[in-house]
Chain A
Amino acid sequence: MARLRMAKSRQVRCIHCGASNEVAQRAMSIFCMYCHKRLILEDYVIKSFQGLKGYSTCGNVVVEKGGQVVAFVQANNLDVRGILRGNAEVLGRVEVASTGFLQGDVCAPALTVEEGAQFKGFCRIGPRLTTQRAPQSDSQGNSLPSTPLQEGSSRLSKGLERQAGGNKPEADEKKTAAQTGAAPPVRAVKAISTRRKSR
């Protein structure tokens, strides 16, 4: 434990649910603590034509001059100096340099297009427009003030309880959730199995 506490960590925002995860400095991929989806933390630097279906990372994506991408891009920051044809969903900033060409729809909080660059597409620029979690409500219809942190910690504590006290039946778990007014637990296994491999 002491080693874990000493290790350098950084905050990474999940590209699927927007929640902040604390990860080790050198981590390359994790499972989000809150939505349980796999997150790649690496940065992508594209210098030539890449025939991938999509880039999905919590790091930055840089399409260098000479690079060409025809794919959906999901990233923390996006820098286009080459050619990008495809939609982009970004948590941070999108920058299209003077040599850049971007054709596709962009969803991001901030955008900069330099002189000489070319951009064509629909833009949805604004704070927190990318991915938002739906507000949860209990059986009486009252909205619950549940932050991703609270949800994750409650799920984590439930998981720990299950490990400590053996596996409880799911029906009991749902009953207790209904009594306490908490949301039913999300199956991590289902989330993993439905995930599409991006690489």
Chain B
Amino acid sequence: MSDSNGEYPTVIGPDAVFKGELKFDKGVRLLGQFDGEIATKGNLLVAEGAQLQGEVTAGSVRVDGVMKGNLSATGKVHLTASARLEGDLKTTRLEVADGATFTGHLTVGPQNGKAGVTPAPTSAPRTEDKAKPAPAAKK
């Protein structure tokens, strides 16, 4: 319990219904319902039974519950077997376990690592996409 509190000092309890905008630095464990916008550099855990609806920009995200909305993460996104995610996802690493459900557009790449903190220039992803296949084509 102490480890989880260290990683996720803020807990939104299972009986809580939160609507609005949430900003934090370390980590939040969501057990209840949240409807709104989350912007953080820290970690987010959407626990099993929790419901999250809205835009999320975070460091690394682990989803055990239900989430609807677009998700942008600079770190890893982990969808466990009980997770349900509907929306567009931008991240640098992704793991979707067997049993999880995810429907939406997925963009994974190193360019998403900076996108969460500061808005990336619009022309950057296109140039990187064209540059990436070139080294592999040499062989």
Task: Tell me the A residues contacting B by CB distance below 8 Å.
Answer: 65-66, 68, 82-83, 93, 96, 99, 101, 106, 109-127
Contacts and interface: CB of A to CB of B under 8 A. Distances in A.
Say whether chain A's binding surface is mostly helix, strand, loop, or mixed. Answer: strand
Interface of B: 76, 79, 89, 92-110, 129, 132-133, 136-137, 139
9 contacts: A66-B139, A96-B108, A111-B94, A113-B94, A113-B95, A115-B76, A117-B109, A119-B109, A123-B103
Nearest to A118: B109
A127 B98 CA distance: 7
B85 to A, nearest CB: 9
A68 B133 CA distance: 9
Nearest to A49: B137
B88 to A, nearest CB: 9
Contact of B98 (A110, A120, A122): A110
Contacts of B89: 123
Contact of A113 (B97, B108, B136, B139): B108
Contacts of A120: 106-109, 129
